[in-house]
Each structure stands twice: as structure tokens, then as C-alpha cells.
Structure 1
Amino acid sequence: MSKYKIKVIDSSNTYVFTDLGGSVLDSLIAFGYPAPYECRNGNCGECKVKLVSGSATGTRSMDSGLTSDEKQRNYILTCSANPASDIEIKYNVEIQSVSKKIVDVEQAQRISESRVATIRSINRRGNDVLILCVETDEQMYFEPGQYVDMSFDGLPKRSYSIASCDETNRKFEFHIRIFDKGVVSCHLNNLNDIGQKVALSGPYGIATLNNAPNHHSLVLICAGVGFSPIKCIAVEALKHEPEREVILILFVRNNSDFYDNDAIQMLENNYSNLQCHRIQNEKKTEQLGII
């Protein structure tokens, strides 16, 4: 672990974190800071910050997330920049509240380290979804709604949400959409070697089940494999808050998108406080919208 410090200034507060090695973004995520990002490969620019003081390496000439002017004004991309000294960075965007999610250095270090998992099964559901089940060599504790980074030898890292976990905290399920040119998803779709090793780091993410009073309904909205973290959150709420109304709204394009319908029906049969609404639209449209 590096001795460097990362001082973060946002619209509401100032935080000081320890560099855990790797990129600035990796360290911020491990500590639970809700740093904005999207692609994590230098293209989108969502993670850019002003480097107020100190130095950082790793910004690449091909990183299209920064303009030439921004580079001259000392902006960096946290996904590709590595601290080369104590640094101070400033966000120019609104950052959501982080108070209860910040963890200590020891816990953040555990999160940032990789653990080995073994692929136990891969099953195809619907037209383009894989249900991947892995077993870790050691326990991994997480909050429903979190995700992990998954790395296969020779392939780029991918982030996948945890759909379920057994009582041992070692067997995990992930839902992965197959893309025609998706390097990792196509690799998994063609994989015959059950038992292959995969590296997991995390868990990451702060979009988790909170401790709202039971009389507040829990409304969960998702589409496609976005059901993966929602499934985990719903099961946790139904198991531990039996009096709480849980409303699941699932958007799909066609019947094949109901890829985990058996699991949903089982939840409906077992929990009277669950309402599930399936909304299907097979019509092509030029309309765009935001939920």
C-alpha cells in the first residue's frame, strides 16, 4: 500500500484517504466515496477532477475523456491517474452524501485486494443472458446492491452486480448479458472449462438497501440484467422485513427478457408483501426517455 494521501474536496466536505495502489478511482471506491465514473477506461470523462496539488501519473495520450485545454488546466481522470505524491483533487460536480459509507483503511485495503474464485456453473437464459455461479476461496461479505470487478487472464476487467449469495458467503451468482462483440461475455458464452479461476475485487458500490422504517414501501425498478442487484436487494428485504411492502417493476422488450422469471414467481409465491409488475413493449420506437 502506498504512503501517499489523497485529499478530496467536493461541494459539501473535504476527505483524506490513503492511496491503496492502482488508480485514484480504485482507492476512492474502496473507501466508499461515491466518486462519479462510467467507462473506467479514459473515454467518457465522467471521472475527471481538478488536480489542485501534487502529481499523478498514468494519464494517457489516447484518453479522450479530457480535452487538450483541460489537460493544460491540470485536470486528470481518476480512472487512469495514479498518485505519484500526496495529491489534492477537487470535484466540480455535486457529490451525494457519503457520511455512513466511508470505511477505515484496513477495510478499504481488503476491498481493493483481489480474491480467487472458481467458476462452478454457467447457464444460458433467454436469448442473451448468462447466469454465472462462482465460489470464492474465502468468505466475501457485501451489502445487497453492490458489485465486484471480475478479471480473467488476458481479458479486460468487468464489473458485475451480485444477484445472490449462499449462507456461506462464498458462492455467488451473477447475471451477464451477452454482446456480439463483448470480449468477456463471449468468452464466458463459449467457455467449456467449468473450474476456471477468476479474480474478484470488491465489493464496491453505495446503492444498497438502507435501514428505512418498515412502513416505508420499497420500490425497485429495473430492466434486463439490471434485475441482478435488484434481485439481491428484494430477497434481503423480503427475508428480514416481512411487514414491509416491496414493489418490483420490471421493464422488458419481449418474453425472452423474463430470463429469471422462475425466481420471481418463487418470491411471489413465498412472500405476500411482494408486488411484481412486468411491463413489456415489443414495439420499435424513436422515443427516448429517462426513468
Structure 2
Amino acid sequence: MESFRITFRPSGHSITAEAGETILEAALRHGLSLPYGCRNGSCGTCKGKIIQGIVDYGVYSNEALTEQEKEQQLALFCCAKPLSDLEIECQEIEAVKDIKIRTMPCRVHKLEHVASDVMIIYLKLPTNERLQFLPGQYIDILMKDGQRRSFSLANAPGNDEFLQLHTRNYAGGVFSEYVFSHMKEKDILRFEGPLGTFFLRDAPQNDTPIIFLAGGTGFAPVKSMLEHLFYTENTRFKHNKIKLYWGARNKDGLYLNDLARKWEKENENFCYVPVLSEALPADNWQGKTGLVHQAVMDDIETLLDYQVYACGAPVMVKAAFDSFTSERNLLRENFFSDAFVPSKPATT
């Protein structure tokens, strides 16, 4: 199959695009983030310059790319397909500051009850709209009474047809009661995002080992990060040993356990360690028990050369940070976290 080399300026990154693949599709497949908004030629967010080479401009809106702009060698990278090797000029997304925060409507596409108290919500954006985000970021659902409910995005950025949220049914939870008792497919919601600074950083070394630590539905942003690593051709992480420790009270709380096992089978550099703190007799549990951060302490004598990404209840995240930095030599700057707090009913 014919393929073309694309070189990005000013970064100097170079990737291969397959025949029939757009510049944006090729970039996302290789783990590079370019600005985009709609992915179908309607908004103009992904516009950049063709310095050298020729492209098929594809189908797009004349308002998003004018004939005058084409004469200036501009193209929409979500539509343009290489017809030769290319050298292009565009901004690459390197950090949160490069991504626009938006307020958008969305429709509930599907509700998936994956555990007794966990629901996965699939949200569909309006036609011609996509949300660009970094793996690990979250959105705020804007409720009608003015309150907000924060949820990490569980899908990888490259798989953005639906936004995926994982919500637990907390007693008295402002949003969860609605989700489990009243929400139905085709309901309309509004949200603001993406938000947060919990996202993948470059590893200090090509072989820096990485630990992902998840408690309960703190698995959601970890899932986004891991799927980004596994399903993009991102050579930066191919030589890193990656371990996921996922803690829950009982086996029902490991609501996507089979998915984590599947990742382990498919990726030689990945290891999955589930941990239960209150295993039930019916669980017939043979794995690790206790606190999830303690399982890491039991397995690893020093974290000096590690990166750690932790998401879960504040008490878990704090315990992990304190123990890892004081007892296992983890450098403070190599601990990245997102702690979430269940919402409570409004009080007068």
C-alpha cells in the first residue's frame, strides 16, 4: 500500500500517512495532537500551511477554507489527504493552554450499567462538532440549578465519536441519582470542557517505568490515558514498563476487569494488578487485598526512577503521595494526580 512521509514544522516531527488517510487521522494515529474542532471540514480549526508537496483537499465548507486561502497554500488537515510526501506548518498541542475550553450541548446516546453502582454514559455531540482534549482531562456537566458535576473523560482522544463518562451511584449524589433513576437515551445535557491538568507527560527517559493507580471510577481517566498509549503508534512509550494497580472494595467494583486483562494480553510492556479492600466470600478472590497504594509498596522497593499517575478519592491519592515520596524515593515532580470528591445535596 502506498504511503507518504509528513514532516511537521516547526517541531520537526515526522510520520507516515497511509493512502486515503487525512493528515489529521495520520497525526492522531501516531499520537500527535493537532488542533481540531469538527473533523469534517466545517470549522477551520485545523487549518495549516502546505510548505511542500501536494494534497487532495477533500470535501469541506467554503467558509472554512476560501479559494484565496488555498492559493496561499493553506489546507484543512481534517480533510486534506497527501498525494506526495509533505512538509507542513502547524501548531501542535503540547499542553492544556493550547486547547480551547468550550460550552457545548450533547445528547445521551447510550447508558451501560456495568456494575451494581456504576453506569457508563456515552454522549454524542452535535453534528459537525468534536471535543479536543488531552487524555486524563475532565468535563463539567452543567446542571439546571447552576451546580456542576465533574467527570473524567474515559475515551481516548483519537476515539472521540462518543464522550464516555463513568459515574458511581453515591447516596445523596446530586447527579448520580438523576443518572440511575431518571436519565434516558436522547436526553440533552450541557457541559464545559475540557478541564484539568491531569494528563500524560513525556517520560524523562525512553525506559522510565510508569505506574497508573486507580481507585473505583478513578479508572476512567486512566483508561483514556492507557488506550491513548496502546492504540496510537506512539513510539515514546513503547519501551516503558507500564503497570496498572486498580483498587475497589469488591470484585463488582472492577467493572471493566476483562478490558484490563485484554490490554495485558495485547501489550507486552503492560501489567495489570487488581486489588480488593473488602472482598466478599462470593468473589472467591485469590488476588491482592488491602489498600491499593500499599500493593505498590509491597511490590516495588524504590520508585526513584518512576512516574506515577493516580486518580481516586482524596484519601487514596494523598496516602499514595505521602508513602511513595517518603518511603519509596519517588520524586515529587513525578507524581501526577486527580482526586475527586462526591457531590453532596445542596444545604440551606
Same fold (TM over 0.5): yes
In 1, Cα distance between the equivalents of 2:212 and 2:251?
20
For the pair 1:203 / 2:197, whether they are aligned, the reply is no
Q: What's the TM-score once normalised by structure 1's chain length? A: 0.58
CA 1:279–1:102 in structure 2 vs 1: closer, same or farther (change >3 Å)?
A: closer
1:181 maps to what in 2?
A: 172
Summarize deviations over 1:183-214 as a string: whole Å, max 9, x none.
21110112353111111211111121011133
2:208 maps to what in 1?
A: 216
Tell me which moved more, 189-198 or 172-181. 189-198
In 2, Cα distance between the equivalents of 1:225 and 1:174?
9
For the pair 1:119 / 2:108, whether they are aligned, the reply is yes
CA 1:188–1:200 in structure 2 vs 1: closer, same or farther (change >3 Å)?
A: same
In 2, Cα distance between the equivalents of 1:164 and 1:123?
14
In 2, Cα distance between the equivalents of 1:156 and 1:150?
8
Structure 1 residue corresponding to 2:121, chosen from 118, 125, 132: 132
RMSD (CA atoms): 2.4
For the pair 1:272 / 2:263, whether they are aligned, the reply is no
CA 1:167–1:206 in structure 2 vs 1: closer, same or farther (change >3 Å)?
A: closer
For the pair 1:191 / 2:182, whether they are aligned, the reply is yes
2:221 maps to what in 1?
A: 229
Structure-to-structure mapping, 1:1-291, within 5 angstroms: 101=95, 103=97, 110-111=100-101, 113-137=102-126, 138-154=129-145, 156-165=147-156, 167=158, 169-191=160-182, 193-212=184-203, 213-239=205-231, 240=234, 241-282=237-278, 290-291=319-320
In 1, Cα distance between the equivalents of 2:96 and 2:258?
37
In 2, Cα distance between the equivalents of 1:200 and 1:263?
28
In 2, Cα distance between the equivalents of 1:211 and 1:218?
11
In 1, Cα distance between the equivalents of 2:279 and 2:225?
30
Summarize deviations over 1:86-131 as a string: whole Å, max 9, x none.
xxxxxxxxxxxxxx74636xx5xx40x3111111111112221111
Letter in 1 for 2:162: K
Deviation at 1:233, TM superposition (A): 1.1
Aligned length: 185
CA 1:198–1:145 in structure 2 vs 1: closer, same or farther (change >3 Å)?
A: same
CA 1:154–1:194 in structure 2 vs 1: closer, same or farther (change >3 Å)?
A: farther
Structure 1, unpaired ranges of 5+: 1-99
In 1, Cα distance between the equivalents of 2:97 and 2:273?
36
Letter in 1 for 2:273: H
Deviation at 1:238, TM superposition (A): 2.7
CA 1:262–1:283 in structure 2 vs 1: closer, same or farther (change >3 Å)?
A: closer
In 2, Cα distance between the equivalents of 1:272 and 1:283?
29
Q: Would you say the 8 A contact 2:111–2:120 is kept in 1? A: yes
Summarize deviations over 1:118-167 as a string: whole Å, max 9, x none.
11111112221111110112111111110011124346210000111474
Deviation at 1:265, TM superposition (A): 1.7
Q: Would you say the 8 A contact 2:157–2:228 is kept in 1? A: no
In 1, Cα distance between the equivalents of 2:242 and 2:255?
21
1:56 maps to what in 2?
A: none
Instruction: Tell which structure's C-alpha radius of gyration is larger.
Output: 2
In 2, Cα distance between the equivalents of 1:281 and 1:168?
33
In 2, Cα distance between the equivalents of 1:188 and 1:161?
16
Structure 2, unpaired ranges of 5+: 1-93, 281-289, 291-314, 321-348
Deviation at 1:270, TM superposition (A): 1.4
Q: Would you say the 8 A contact 1:130–1:175 is kept in 2? A: yes
In 2, Cα distance between the equivalents of 1:217 and 1:126?
31
In 2, Cα distance between the equivalents of 1:185 and 1:262?
25
CA 1:275–1:201 in structure 2 vs 1: closer, same or farther (change >3 Å)?
A: same
In 2, Cα distance between the equivalents of 1:215 and 1:166?
24
